[in-house]
């Protein structure tokens, strides 16, 4: 499997541009809006990890990794994360949460709407093992610990060709299909198969929310 730095070949480019299966790599947050290009099915924002925070996350016991599932206005994300700040948290926690807040704002600007669904998941199983498309118009996935999301041009239920992996700390934008996915071509993806390998991943997932309950921030204890 190729790292996403291995750009699609010209032949593949031609094929994917006709089927909405294009993959673009960008290096700046300002380029995230390119995902709205009709030919693209995915976009990766390549960026380096904060090495200190990456090492800190790697050394944490899986039970100590932060997790969160909420539907929330973007503006409330800092407060939600601050409420979960461990007493002994240091620089690394601040880097991680600032990054999540930054991605929430960037994604909110892309999709509009008043609320986002935010999941910060600790994953130890294969999660979504089959290649698929999500039933949301757009999803952001950023792996902070462990192996990144696998993806590529293809059809649901089949292995894509070629296959790429989004590097950790490099957000992956995936276009989905809000209705019935069927057998239509696009960029399919899956969680990497890690079950039984002793690996623990920490993954941020952001989705737009079309009909939030405006009177409650769900999932807040
Ligand atoms: Fe998915």
CA of 204 to the centre of ligand 1 (A): 12
Residue 173: exposure state from Cβ atoms within 10 A (0-12, 13-18, ≥19) = buried
CA of 76 to the centre of ligand 1 (A): 25
Which one, of 186, 177, 189, lies nearest residue 135 by Cα? Answer: 177
CA of 42 to the centre of ligand 1 (A): 12
CA of 189 to the centre of ligand 1 (A): 6
Q: Do the beta carbons of residue 187 and residue 23 sit within 8 Å? A: yes
**What are the tens digits of pLDDT across the range 73-82?**
999 999 999 9
How confident is the prediction along the chain (221 residues), in pLDDT tens digits per residue?
655 544 444 444 444 444 557 889 999 999 999 998 878 899 999 999 999 999 999 999 999 999 999 999 999 999 999 998 887 889 999 999 999 999 999 999 999 988 999 999 999 887 778 999 998 999 999 999 999 999 999 999 999 988 999 999 999 999 988 776 667 788 999 999 888 788 999 999 999 997 766 434 444 33
CA of 128 to the centre of ligand 1 (A): 6
Q: What are the Cα distances from residue 23, in Å, to 60, 127, 194, 210?
A: 33, 23, 25, 26
- Ion ligand 1 nearby residues (CB, 5 A): 128, 134
CA of 191 to the centre of ligand 1 (A): 7
Domains annotated for the chain, with CATH where assigned, are 2-208 (2.60.120)
Q: Is the pTM of this model over 0.75?
A: yes
């Amino acid at each position: 499997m190729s790292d996403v730095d291995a750009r699609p070949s010209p032949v593949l480019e031609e094929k994917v541009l006709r089927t909405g299966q294009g993959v673009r790599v960008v290096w700046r947050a300002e380029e995230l809006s390119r995902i709205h290009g009709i030919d693209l099915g995915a976009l990766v924002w390549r960026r380096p990890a904060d090495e200190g925070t990456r090492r800190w996350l790697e050394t944490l016991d899986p039970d100590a990794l932060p997790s969160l599932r909420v539907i929330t206005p973007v503006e409330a994300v800092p407060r939600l994360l601050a409420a979960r700040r461990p007493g002994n948290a240091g620089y690394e926690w601040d880097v991680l949460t600032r990054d999540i807040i930054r991605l929430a704002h960037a994604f909110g600007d892309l999709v509009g709407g008043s609320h986002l669904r935010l999941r910060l998941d600790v994953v130890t199983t294969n999660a979504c093992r089959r290649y698929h498309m999500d039933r949301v118009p757009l999803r952001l996935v950023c792996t902070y610990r462990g192996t990144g999301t696998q993806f590529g041009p293809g059809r649901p239920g089949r292995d894509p060709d070629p296959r790429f992996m989004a590097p950790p700390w490099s957000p992956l934008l995936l276009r989905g299909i809000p209705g019935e996915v069927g057998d239509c071509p696009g960029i399919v993806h899956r969680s990497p198969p890690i079950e039984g390998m002793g690996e623990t991943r920490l993954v941020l997932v952001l989705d737009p929310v079309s009909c939030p309950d405006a009177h409650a921030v769900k999932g807040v204890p």
